[in-house]
Chain A
């Protein structure tokens, strides 16, 4: 038994893959992949005062989300959202845990309310005036797969379009020694239960026991794939860029895999 979901828009923000439109020729192998550091983002959807209060991780997630809607922010309020991140905001954790070692434990109130795993979701809802359901979840290295499943089940059961965003960002030095993420990476998808005019592909999802996971056929991209939980999406993004029917196997949890059949919409 598999679950069918339609992908109506995609955005991608990763080193050397600055956006979905430009990146497809690299993902499909027509152009060479070159690693480039991520720029600093400044999501247009955030008011200036909020932009100052938010972190690189929050900006990365919101940038991917607004790119996915192609800056059609009026439509943003119609989407439920699912935000998937393995680690949340290491930069904030680092600052809070340092503050807790000091006399008087001076934790900043803004840092504290930004420390929740659902901070990007909260800022998005405020900026997009989106009052629908929003979920924020983690499944560690498998957060992309778990988030895609949650977002798909939401679109199907609630019959509502979902904006799904998967993202993670490297930790500062101390935490990097126990949890190394190679680089920031975010991917977002607009999903719906039914075929839409702008549907790009159809995905059929099911969990199974296959243990041969699909890798990237390019060493640079493969290095990226294993270096950030959100980048586990790369084989799927490559299949979509190649515009042909393909079966992708993404690691899920505890020896289970997520099998994704990519088909024309």
Chain B
């Protein structure tokens, strides 16, 4: 049974391409990557990262100072773009703060504060026994910190949670929001996600030998793994109205690989199930989709599994690209970042190029977008797949 579409009233992305939608749009159209040589504080890995500039200078509002950490500074910077706050406040006036849900995704939240607190302790001459009193675990590192911060900043007190299903987190929040609106727990929802660079993910992915020394090359013949990025992205969802020009969430599909903690099912079983479920929930066929935004992390196993899944559901005709070559893999923020890239593609008539990849892996068959274009996109599917075998696909398009 098809879902009732939800209108995407406002959206904004901040990532390595810059703060706000315009920065991303310009870079995507000009062919300029956001990836740069890793210079992240405390990390000597030779790799490229998608770092957001200027996060150390961002100041949180005084009454929310305890939330200060890289993840919440990135959150705050992101919320200031594209008149997003005005849209949230207009919705609050319309519905009331109790009727607006907040569903956000993150994988590591503000874990960097804990890393720093442990480092400070280790560096103390006579090795103290306690973490610094300046370290506020609950407001920074706890997984809900991001949701708490956003609820308090906008004075919203409706339903809320933070989804943390690794790299599918900020895709799954769209499904949570839909369910809460559909069952009457709220009338509108602020969705999105934020993840920020930290040593845990840089050295953690490196320990799994998944970090590329070069710029990542999704679907590439000689792909070497991921570049880690950071991003904040948000969207406001409401029930559709009579106006004709609007972007809508038309379908979602969620599944579990039930295969391995950090490696996808080789045939892309769970990924295919998520894409098919999204089509089913939208009441659409595969030929109704103009563009596939791939998860496309550029690891050997992820891309080949996803290629198999795309072939199962779509075959090799639907245009597809990964945008990880622009932003790096923004982990828990990847879902929302890539949904917004799809929205920019619809509104500006282009399909993002699969950047950095020179030669496609000859064993893979998806129809990868390799050249700059002005192709029309009326409807796209965005894939997000994470550790633990957590999969989510979203379908977004113009109304009607």
Residues of A within 8 A of B (CB): 1, 3, 84-88, 93, 96-101, 105-109, 112-119, 121-123, 125-126, 128-140, 143, 146-147, 149-150, 152-154, 156-158, 174-175, 177-179, 207, 209, 252-256
Contacts and interface: CB of A to CB of B under 8 A. Distances in A.
B258 A138 contact: no
Contacts of A137: 143, 161-164, 176
Nearest to A117: B164
A126 B157 contact: no
A126 B114 contact: no
B111 interface: yes
B166 A207 contact: no
A146 B186 CA distance: 13
Contacts of B165: 116-118, 121, 134-136
B118 interface: yes
A116 B144 contact: no
A179 B138 contact: yes
Contacts of A178: 131, 135-138
A100 B199 contact: yes
Given A98-B118, A119-B261, A179-B138, A130 B256 contact: yes
Given A100-B115, A131-B255, 5 more contacts: A86-B144, A107-B206, A118-B165, A119-B388, A133-B254
Interface in B100-131: 107, 111, 114-115, 117-119, 121-122, 130-131
20 contacts: A3-B183, A86-B143, A93-B111, A96-B204, A100-B199, A107-B204, A112-B200, A118-B390, A122-B256, A122-B390, A125-B258, A131-B270, A135-B163, A137-B176, A153-B180, A153-B183, A157-B182, A174-B121, A177-B131, A209-B98
Contacts of B141: 93
A38 to B, nearest CB: 22
Contact of B389 (A96, A99, A125): A125
Interface of B: 98, 107, 111, 114-115, 117-119, 121-122, 130-131, 135-138, 141-145, 147-148, 151-152, 156-166, 172, 175-176, 178-180, 182-185, 199-200, 203-208, 254-262, 269-270, 273, 386-390
A93 B114 contact: yes
Instruction: Please indicate which of the listed interface residues B163, B182, B183 has the most CB atoms of chain A within 10 Å of its own CB.
Output: B183
The binding surface of chain A is classed by DSSP as mixed
Instruction: Please indicate which of the listed interface residues B138, B178, B389 has the most CB atoms of chain A within 10 Å of its own CB.
Output: B389
Nearest to B116: A97
Contacts of A154: 179
A133 B122 contact: no
A254 to B, nearest CB: 4
A129 B157 contact: no
Contacts of B203: 99-100, 105, 107
A116 B390 CA distance: 11
B88 to A, nearest CB: 15
Contacts of B175: 133
A174 B258 contact: no
Contacts of A140: 138, 142-145, 148
Nearest to B118: A97
Contacts of B273: 131
4 pairs of A and B residues whose beta carbons are closest in the complex:
A122-B388, A117-B164, A112-B204, A133-B254
A131 B265 CA distance: 11
B187 to A, nearest CB: 11
Contacts of B111: 93, 97
Instruction: Please indicate which of the listed interface residues A84, A129, A135, A179 has the most CB atoms of chain B within 10 Å of its own CB.
Output: A135
B354 to A, nearest CB: 27
A76 to B, nearest CB: 10
Given A116-B164, A118-B166, A101 B207 contact: no
Contacts of A134: 165, 254, 256, 388, 390
B200 A131 contact: no
Contacts of B137: 175, 178-179
Contacts of A85: 143
B131 A174 contact: yes
Contacts of B162: 137-139
Given A138-B161, A157-B179, A174-B121, A117 B107 contact: yes
Given A1-B184, A134-B165, A153-B179, A107 B207 contact: yes
A22 to B, nearest CB: 31
Given A116-B107, A139-B161, A121 B200 contact: no
A132 B389 CA distance: 11
A255 B157 contact: yes
Contacts of B207: 106-109, 112
B183 A156 contact: yes
Instruction: Please indicate which of the listed interface residues B162, B256, B259 has the most CB atoms of chain A within 10 Å of its own CB.
Output: B256
Contacts of B115: 97, 100
